[in-house]
Structure 1
Amino acid sequence: MKYFFDYAQMLFLSLVTLIIFSSCEDVVDVALDTGQSTIVIDAEILWQSGTDGSKQTILISKMTDYYNQQVPKVTGAEVFVENQYGQRFEFKDIGQGVYQCTNFNPELDVEYTLTVAVGDQLYTATEVMEPVSEILQVVQTVEQGFSGEDEIEVQFKFQDPADQSNYYLSDFETNILFYPEYELTDDDLYNGNVIKIGFSDEDLKIGDTVKITHRGISEQFYNYMNLILETTSGNPFATPPGNIRGNILNENEPGAYALGYFRLSQSDVATHIIE
């Protein structure tokens, strides 16, 4: 009788264990509310030093629900940028939410206005093309990382202009990262001096390539990106915990904004191969 009880008890415990483990493997879909599909406008006009800057691209999509693996692309929109002198640059729809201009004319310190018409909704934003200080030198050093192990650091230097406030956004792109590492810099403490910006990673090794893109940006975009990087732990491609307001206004609804930011930057680019 005791043997039967022990066997029955063991069978019961085995069934309970099986149910528990089976429950752990079940996928639970939580019913989430589907809100209004917000327009997302990724409009970076980037003029690399040494080029004419005539080819520019704007991406337009929509936010989607949590479980949707495909980002809805917006096609059929009317997109153009106009400078303060009345010159208009058309961005043609080439499919998959990509709008391209091949005759853009970038001018430093000139104001530009973006206009996007999607259906009966009109979006606008205005910014100034910001200059950048050229990269003077790229150096490689070895520094001690947080783990106590030596790490390779790539550092670039540039001369900040004196007697004016400047803001910079730089990114380091390399094969060991899923997305570029971004660095925001202002000259509040370094006005008129040589500024150094560095990137290090314990996985960097000889032969790896690091591409540096250094941009001049406006104070408003600096503040916007600072919020983005703070709330996403440095990953601008992650989903922020809340919608951070950009500068793209919905003209049909006072106080409403599209997601994204219209910005214009001169940039300088350097490539370094780890030695």
Structure 2
Amino acid sequence: MKKMFGMVLLLFLTSSCEDVVEVDVPSENPRLIVNALIRVNPDSQTFTYRVKVSLTDSFFGEIPVTNLTQITIGGAILVDINNPGSGIYEATRSTESLLPDQQLILQLTWEDRRYFAWTNYSPSVPIDDLQIGDGTLFDEDDTEVIVTFTDDPDRANFYVFDFGFGNFATTDDEFIQGQQQTFSYFYDENLESGDELTVKILGADQEFFNYMNSLIEQTEDDFGVFETPAATIRGNIFDVTDLDNIDVFDNVEQPELFPLGFFAVVEEYQRTITIP
């Protein structure tokens, strides 16, 4: 299929007239987006597999995909009952059914194409303490939070921190194995006294850790990490329609045939604090 070019008409107002300028806007073929980051609260008896499926449009936006033939995770069939027409597919399961390093498989079918991904359930650790700092290290207008957590000494760990407002950070335990760690994070959002901040710590495997690092590096200046990226970052979801060996699904012969997005099932702890 050939790439198409859309045309945008821009109106520039001047003191005497309106000028119409025609601009050709390059447009890639639509690409499937699968947002399948599943967060599991260990304090809840159940959790929800929640996957958002959409399609890129000509202007880097998203169109919900509401006509999947099927979507499953670990044998659970996800359905679009709770949010009809949204492209959001869900299934509820018992939290006790998840085990550390358990392998989970995502499969979906759309327009006669089959997509496949697998991941391991990644445990996390609680946040020991969350404090508001004085924020004067860089800019007195920034809001500083001081986060303390203790690494699990029995395994190699990767962590993703979600600070809200589309802000994420990553760390691993290469130099803090089994130790307590304290660090500061500075918000540059316009926050006021009485506002609440929620900090979350997600478990991760190395693949998800690397993927988040790439997204953070690409989007740290202008965009949230789960907005459609300006440049394509390959995740762990593959188009396996034309592959004859399910054990080799890295699309070697079809390097451009893959969706955007990532599949991960992670344990998540959180703490909330109010700005004094």
Query: With structure 1 as the length reference, what TM-score do the two structures score?
Result: 0.80
What do the CA deviations read for 1:23-44 (whole angstroms, capped 9, x no partner)? 9975645223433211100001
Q: Which residue of 2 aligns with 1:164?
A: 155
Candidates 103, 110, 113, aligned match of 2:105 = 113
| Cα 1:33–1:204 shift into 2, 3 Å | closer
Distance in 1 (alpha carbons) for counterparts of 2:151 and 2:37:
23
| Equivalences for residues 85-234 of structure 1 within 5 A | 88-94=75-81, 95=84, 96-103=86-93, 105-147=97-139, 149=140, 151-162=142-153, 164-173=155-164, 179-201=165-187, 203-233=190-220
Q: Which residue of 2 aligns with 1:7?
A: none
Amino acid at match of 2:258: Y
Instruction: Give the Å deviation of 1:196.
Output: 2.3
Amino acid at match of 1:61: S
What do the CA deviations read for 1:66-85 (whole angstroms, capped 9, x no partner)? 1x76x211112111011xxx
Amino acid at match of 1:184: T
2:48/2:91 contact within 8 Å kept? yes
Distance in 2 (alpha carbons) for counterparts of 1:216 and 1:141:
25
Instruction: Give the Å deviation of 1:146.
Output: 2.8
* SS of equivalent residue, structure 1 residue 61: strand
| Cα 1:32–1:143 shift into 2, 3 Å | closer
Amino acid at match of 2:93: N
| Equivalences for residues 249-264 of structure 1 within 5 A | 249-253=238-242, 255=251, 256-264=257-265
Identity %: 27
Distance in 1 (alpha carbons) for counterparts of 2:13 and 2:90:
54
What do the CA deviations read for 1:215-267 (whole angstroms, capped 9, x no partner)? 00110011111111111126314443421100001002451321100001000
**Where do 5+ consecutive residues of structure 2 fail to align?**
1-11, 244-250, 252-256
Distance in 1 (alpha carbons) for counterparts of 2:120 and 2:65:
26
Q: Which moved more, 1:264-273 or 1:246-255?
A: 246-255
Distance in 1 (alpha carbons) for counterparts of 2:13 and 2:195:
47
| Cα 1:26–1:230 shift into 2, 3 Å | farther
Q: Hey, which of these two has a bigger chunk of helix by percent?
A: 1
What do the CA deviations read for 1:83-118 (whole angstroms, capped 9, x no partner)? xxxxx2110123210101023543322000000111
Distance in 2 (alpha carbons) for counterparts of 1:219 and 1:23:
60
Number of aligned residue pairs: 244
**Where do 5+ consecutive residues of structure 1 fail to align?**
1-18, 83-87, 174-178
Distance in 2 (alpha carbons) for counterparts of 1:155 and 1:80:
39
* SS of equivalent residue, structure 2 residue 79: strand
* SS of equivalent residue, structure 2 residue 213: helix
| Cα 1:249–1:274 shift into 2, 3 Å | same
Instruction: Give the Å deviation of 1:53.
Output: 3.5
Distance in 2 (alpha carbons) for counterparts of 1:25 and 1:127:
55
The answer to whether residue 272 in structure 2 is matched with residue 271 in structure 1 is: yes
Instruction: Give the Å deviation of 1:187.
Output: 1.4
